[in-house]
Amino acid sequence: MSRIAYRRVILAASASALTALLATSTPAHHSTAMFEWGKAVELKNATVERWDWTNPHTFLYVNAGGDKWAFEGMSPNHLGRIGWSKRTLKAGDKINLTYYPLKDGRKGGFNVTVTFADGKIMKQLESPSTNPAADR
């Protein structure tokens, strides 16, 4: 096999392997099919247990009425651009929140807004009406 043909085979094999890797992992990670999008539900009188400011998504763990709940959120990069930080929530904070529930009925979902005890509301999705910086 000539040197040029050998390089073409290696390049084609590498491209195929990369395509297969990306095609299988990306949709699995970014799937939002588990949430009831557009069906906002409110959870009142929750106490923050943990706020994970991690990539690729933030996670909020709360206790409400003796039940433990888990909520996925936007990425730290996105949230940081609209006023959130890793110090926005801390264990013991009393909050209300809205979320899109999990379709399977488990206690959790996708976090939409957080309302603090002082009435301050922070939203996860940016638009002219939902940017927390616009409310200051």
- Same domain, residue pair 51 and 76: yes
Residue 40, number of CB atoms within 10 A of its CB: 14
Q: Which domain covers residue 97, as residue numbers? A: 41-135
Q: What is the pLDDT of residue 125?
A: 72
Lowest mean pLDDT among 31-35, 56-60, 99-103, 126-130: 126-130
Cα(97)–Cα(121) distance, integer angstroms: 9
Residue 131 has pLDDT above 50, yes or no: no
- Same domain, residue pair 87 and 118: yes
Residue 55 one-letter amino acid: N
**Whole-structure pTM value:** 0.71
Arithmetic mean of pLDDT, 73-94: 96
- Same domain, residue pair 2 and 68: no
- Same domain, residue pair 49 and 17: no
Residue 90 has pLDDT above 70, yes or no: yes
- Give the N- to C-terminal CA distance of the chain in Å, as an integer: 68
Per-residue pLDDT tens for 44-68? 999 999 999 999 999 999 999 999 9
